[in-house]
Amino acid sequence: MRLARALGDRVTSWRYERSTDARGKRDLRIDLLRGFCVFVMIVDHVGGEDSWLYVLTGGNRFFVSAAEGFVLLSGISMGLAHRRVIDGTGVRAMLEKVFGRAWLLYALTVILTITFAAASSALGTPWSVQATPASSGGAFALSVLTFQRSYSLTDVLLLYTLLVLAAAPALWLIARGHTVLVLGSSAALWAAAQVWPRGVPTPWVVVDGGFPFAAWQLLFFGGLVAGFHRQRLEHWLAPRRLIVMGIAVVAALIAAQSIAQGLGLATAVDTHQLLFDKNDARIGRVLALGAAASFAFAFVTLAWTPLRRSTGWLFLRFGHHALFAYAVQLFVVAFWSSDLMAPLRLDRENALFQAAAAGMVWLACVGWSAAQRSWRSIFPIRAGGDRRIRLAGAFPAVALVAVVFGASASDLGEGLLPTGIGGPTISGRLASSHVVRALDGGRLEEGSFYSQRLRRTMPFAVYVPPGYDDDPTARYPVLYMLHGGSGTNSEWLDYGLIDAAEALMSSGEIAPMIIVLPQGDQEYWIDHVVDAATGSNGAKWGSYLALEVVPQIDVRYRTITSSAGRAIGGLSMGGHAAMELPMNFPAIWSVIGAHSPALRPVGDAPTYLGSGADFAARDPLSLIAAKPTLAATYEWWIDAGDADPWLAQAAAIHAALDALGIASVLRVAPGDHSLSYWSTNAADYLRYYAGALCARVSCGLIARRG
C-alpha cells in the first residue's frame, strides 16, 4: 500500500503544474508538441518505406499528419500571444504586430520558394520534376512574388502567411466579443469547401499550391480562438476531461466512417478519400486531429517531467524555433533526397537517415540560438525595438527577392532557377537515361528515377522515334505500354513491339511517337487498399504511374504535354490498368487500348483491390457505369484471342460502353492468352494508337505542337 502511494505521488509530481516550467509566460507544452510536429515532418519528408521512427510519426500514413497539428498549434500560439498584447497595449499594437509578422512571412516564403526550387532542381530531388512548367525563370519568380505559385514543401508557408494576414481582423473581432461570428464563418467556409469546392470564391489560383485556404483555415482559426480564450477553457483542459473528449471524438470518427462506408457501397466512392483526404482537410482528418490533440495534451500534462528530460532537448528546441527549423529542413531534406545521396540510399531510406536529417536541423537550431544570444549581447533591444527590427529586417529580404527576380530575367539568372520549371524543352536531371540499343532510325533508352510514392528507384525504357534529333523544336505524342502480371518492362520488347515500331515509323506507315515501357512489378498498376488482414499497405502504384512517370517523361523528352497527345495500353494485368487508370486519373490520357485484359472478379482478384466499394473504385466495368461522361471522352480499343479465358469479361466492357452510346472497338482474333497472340498483333496495336493520336493532335503539325 505504501509502495503504491509512493508511486502515485511520484507520478503526480510529473504533472506540468508541479514543475517550475508552469510559472513562465509561455506554455512549454505547446512548444514541445509543435517541436514534435516539426520532427515528424522532417522524418516523413525524408521518407522511406520502413523505419523504426514510423512508430512515432505514422509515416504520413496515419489518419492525421503533423501538418494539421502544426497549423492548429500555430493558431493556438498566436491566440495566446496576441491576447497578452491586446490586454497589455491594446488592439492597435496587436494589429501592428500581426501585420509585421505577415510581412516578414511573405518575404521569407518568397525567398524560400525560389531558393528551394533552385536547390531542388540542382540536386535532382524527386519533386523537382513534378513542378508545373513556367514559360521562363522570370515568369516563375514573378508568380512566386505575387503568390500565384508555390512549390513542394513551401506551399504550407504560403498558406501560413495568408492565415496570419487573415488573423488580424479575426483577432479584432474576437477581442470585440464576436468569437461566435469568427468560428461560424470559419466553419461555414470549410463546409462549403467540402461540399462545393468549385463554388467557393477564390481571389486567385495558386499553381502547385497543395493546401486550399478555404479548407485548412478551420484548423488555424479553431486554434486561434482556443488560444485567445485559454483562461476560459482551462476547466476543459484537465487531463481527465481531455481523455473523455478524445474518446468521444474517436467514437464520432467511427460513426462517420460507418456512414461513409454505407454511402460508398451505394455510390462506389472511395470512402477513405471521402473521409481522410489530406489536401481538402476532410471531416475524418478534422476529427482525428481533435482526438490526437486531446490525447497528446493530456499526455504531456501528466508526464511532463520525464518527457521534458528525455525529449525536451530536441522537441523544445524545434518548438522554440519552429519556423527556422522548418526552413532549414527544406534544404536538409533536399540533400538527403538528392542524386548525390542516391548511391547510399539503396532505394530505401531508414531510421538512421531520418535521424541524421533531424540531427542536422537540430544543430542548425542550436547555432541559431547561439547567434541570437550573441546579437542581443552586442546590440541590446529596448522596449518596442524588437518589432522595429523585425519590420526593418523584412526590407533587405524583399530587396534580395527583387535581385533574384531581376537576375532571373537575364540569361545568367535563368540558371538560378530550377531547370524543371524553366520551360518545356529543358530536360530534368532526376530521370536519368542512356542508350542501350541504337536502331536504324530510332533508339531504345533505359532510365530510372526515384519514386516518392513507392519510396524506391524505378526503371523505365523509352523508344525514341526516327528523326527525333533532326528538329529540336519537334514534339511527339506518347504511348505508355504496360506489361502483364508475370512480366517486366522488357516484356513488350520480347513481343517485338519496338521492332514493329521501328519498321512502321521508318517506312512512314505510321507517324512517329515516343513509346514508354514503365515497370509495374505484379501490382496491377493500381493504388492498393489498406487492409491489415491481408497485409495490403496502400501502395500507390497507380499514382506512381499517373503522377510520377508521366511528368518524368514530359521533362526528359520532347512530348506533347496534353492528354490529347497521350495513349495508354497494356496486356493482361496492364490491360486492366489501361482502362482503370484513365477513369481514376482523368485528363492525363485520351486513348485507351486493352489487350487481353485480365478482369478478375471479387474473390479471384488480388486482395489489394479490396471488396465492395473499394473494388468498385478499381474495377473498369464499375467505373464506366459510375462515370459515363468521363468514359465518353476516351477512345477505346479492346481485343482478346478467341480462346482467351477472359474474353467474356472483355466483351462485357464493350457491351457496357455500347449500352451507354460510347463508341469502342472490340476485336476478337485467333489465339489465346499467350506470347504468340500479342506478338502477332503488336503491329496492329501500333497502327491503332498512331491513328487515334493523329486524329487528336494532327500528326502533320506534330513538330509545332506541345
Work out the pLDDT band at 434, boundaries 50, 70, 90: low
How far apart, in whole angstroms, are the C-alpha atoms of residue 41 and residue 315?
12
Cβ-based burial of 84 (10 A; exposed 0-12, middle 13-18, buried ≥19): exposed
What's residue 568's pLDDT? 98
- CA dist list (Å): 638 to 15, 567, 645: 67, 14, 15
Which fold is adopted by the domain 431-704? Rossmann fold (3.40.50)
Does 367 score more than 80 pLDDT?
A: yes
Mean pLDDT calculated for residue range 535-539: 78
Grid cell in block for residue 77: 500560439
Mean pLDDT calculated for residue range 375-400: 53
Angle at 91 between CA 86 and CA 95, to 5 degrees: 110
For residue 130, which of 518, 560, 544, 591 has the smallest C-alpha distance? 544
Grid cell in block for residue 157: 508557408
Does 13 score more than 90 pLDDT?
A: no
Does 627 score more than 50 pLDDT?
A: yes
What's residue 701's pLDDT? 40
Q: Each residue of 630-689: pLDDT tens digit?
A: 999 999 999 999 999 999 999 999 999 999 999 999 999 999 999 999 999 999 999 999
Identify whether the C-beta of residue 442 lies closer than 8 Å to the C-beta of residue 502: yes
Work out the pLDDT band at 424, boundaries 50, 70, 90: very low
What's residue 640's pLDDT? 96
Work out the pLDDT band at 49, boundaries 50, 70, 90: low
What's residue 136's pLDDT? 65
Strand partners, 457: 450
Mean pLDDT calculated for residue range 491-496: 93
Does 488 score more than 60 pLDDT?
A: yes
Estimate the share of the chain in helix, then strand, then coil, as percent rounded to the nearest 5.
Answer: 60, 10, 30
- Return phi, psi of residue 427, to 5°: -85, 140
Identify whether the C-beta of residue 589 lies closer than 8 Å to the C-beta of residue 566: yes
How far apart, in whole angstroms, are the C-alpha atoms of residue 286 and residue 230?
20
Q: Each residue of 578-588: pLDDT tens digit?
A: 999 999 998 89
Q: Each residue of 303-345: pLDDT tens digit?
A: 999 999 999 999 999 999 999 999 999 999 888 877 666 556 5
Does 134 score more than 70 pLDDT?
A: no
Work out the pLDDT band at 421, boundaries 50, 70, 90: very low
Work out the pLDDT band at 346, boundaries 50, 70, 90: very low
How far apart, in whole angstroms, are the C-alpha atoms of residue 158 and residue 151?
9
Does 465 score more than 50 pLDDT?
A: yes
What's residue 482's pLDDT? 97
Mean residue pLDDT of the chain comes to: 83
What's residue 529's pLDDT? 87
Angle at 454 between CA 450 and CA 456, to 5 degrees: 40
**What is the DSSP track for 612-641?**
THHHHTT-HHHHHHH-HHHHTTSEEEEEEE
- Return phi, psi of residue 409, to 5°: -75, -15
Q: Say what the alpha-carbon torsion angle 424, 427, 432, 435 is, to the nearest 10 degrees.
A: 100
- Cα 76 to chain centroid distance, Å, stands at 26
Cβ-based burial of 370 (10 A; exposed 0-12, middle 13-18, buried ≥19): exposed
How far apart, in whole angstroms, are the C-alpha atoms of residue 534 and residue 610?
10
How far apart, in whole angstroms, are the C-alpha atoms of residue 661 and residue 658?
5
What's residue 429's pLDDT? 36
Work out the pLDDT band at 277, boundaries 50, 70, 90: confident
Count the residues in the chain.
706
What's residue 662's pLDDT? 95
Strand partners, 445: 435, 462
Mean pLDDT calculated for residue range 163-187: 95
What's residue 686's pLDDT? 97
491-500, 552-561, 563-572: segment of lowest average pLDDT: 552-561
For residue 258, which of 269, 245, 271, 246 has the smallest C-alpha distance? 271
For residue 342, the one-letter residue type is: A
More confident site: 611 or 139 = 611
Mean pLDDT calculated for residue range 394-398: 50
For residue 194, the one-letter residue type is: Q
- Return phi, psi of residue 207, to 5°: -70, 130
For residue 631, which of 664, 599, 600, 601 has the smallest C-alpha distance? 664
How far apart, in whole angstroms, are the C-alpha atoms of residue 361 and residue 127?
21
More confident site: 52 or 296 = 296
Identify whether the C-beta of residue 481 lies closer than 8 Å to the C-beta of residue 437: no
What's residue 47's pLDDT? 73
Q: Which of helix, strand or coil describes residue 694?
A: helix
Mean pLDDT calculated for residue range 72-80: 94
Q: Each residue of 215-248: pLDDT tens digit?
A: 999 999 999 999 999 989 888 888 899 999 999 9
- Return phi, psi of residue 672, to 5°: -125, -160
How far apart, in whole angstroms, are the C-alpha atoms of residue 74 and residue 66?
12
How far apart, in whole angstroms, are the C-alpha atoms of residue 52 and residue 354?
10
For residue 215, which of 160, 274, 278, 158 has the smallest C-alpha distance? 278
What's residue 416's pLDDT? 44
What's residue 454's pLDDT? 83
Which sequence spans correspond to the domains of the chain? 25-54+65-230+303-415, 431-704
The share of the chain scoring above pLDDT 70, in percent, equals: 82
